[in-house]
Amino acid sequence: MSLYETVFVRPWPFWAAGAGIGLFVIVFAWFTGKALGVSTGYGTCCGLVSRLSFFRKRPYTDSWRLWFIAGIPLGGLASAALAGKLASTFQMGMFEAAVTPNPWAKGVLLLVGGALVGLGARWADGCPSGHSIVGVAQGARSSIRATIGFMVGGLVVTNLFFWLVA
């Protein structure tokens, strides 16, 4: 097996991927003095179209965050294309099996879920990925507490959901 296949084709073990992400976050913060975070990048996107004063202040005015946000889906598309697995589908596996295959109901549930995640991200002063990846890597106590809350809440809601639909 080649180095290229090991690094770019085969999935990394969870421990290596997690360590790589954590190391990148720390090195990025060390060299730039800035923290990565999806909700802050989303706020930068909102600042492009919103007239609200909330989005006119730092960190939402940092234009580099737009490249970070754009790179997430574009990187996924490039990865799938390079692996020869780029395909369009509206199928969502277990979600459809457990909830509904109806596209309108699926859309409403995803919209409501996205709104709840956005509300929670604002309430927690950052999104789960920002707290759990960036904040924990930087040793922020508030992020450690938030991550514990996300994990406990996720476990409870997931088990409750499958108990109700099963």
Which are the contacts of 29, defined by CB distance < 8 A and separation ≥ 6? Answer: 35, 36, 134, 138
Rounded CA-CA distance 52/57 in Å is: 10
Cα 104 from Cα 8, distance rounded (Å): 36
Q: What is the pTM of this model?
A: 0.69
Q: What is the DSSP string of the chain?
A: --HHIIIIISPPPHHHHHHHHHHHHHHHHHHHS----HHHHHHHHHHHH---GGGGSTTTT-THHHHHHHHHHHHHHHHHHHTT--------THHHHHT---HHHHHHHHHHHHHHHHHHHHHTTS-HHIIIIIIHHTT-HHHHHHHHHHHHHHHHHHHHHHHHH-
Tens digit of pLDDT at every position of the chain (166 positions) = 788 888 877 888 989 988 888 888 889 989 998 888 888 888 888 888 888 888 888 778 888 889 989 999 999 899 888 888 888 877 777 777 777 888 888 889 889 988 888 888 878 777 887 888 888 888 889 889 989 998 999 999 989 988 887 7
Q: State how far Cα 164 lies from the chain centre.
A: 27
Q: Is the dihedral of CA 19, 24, 25, 26 positive or negative?
A: positive
Peptide bond into 59 cis (omega under 30): yes
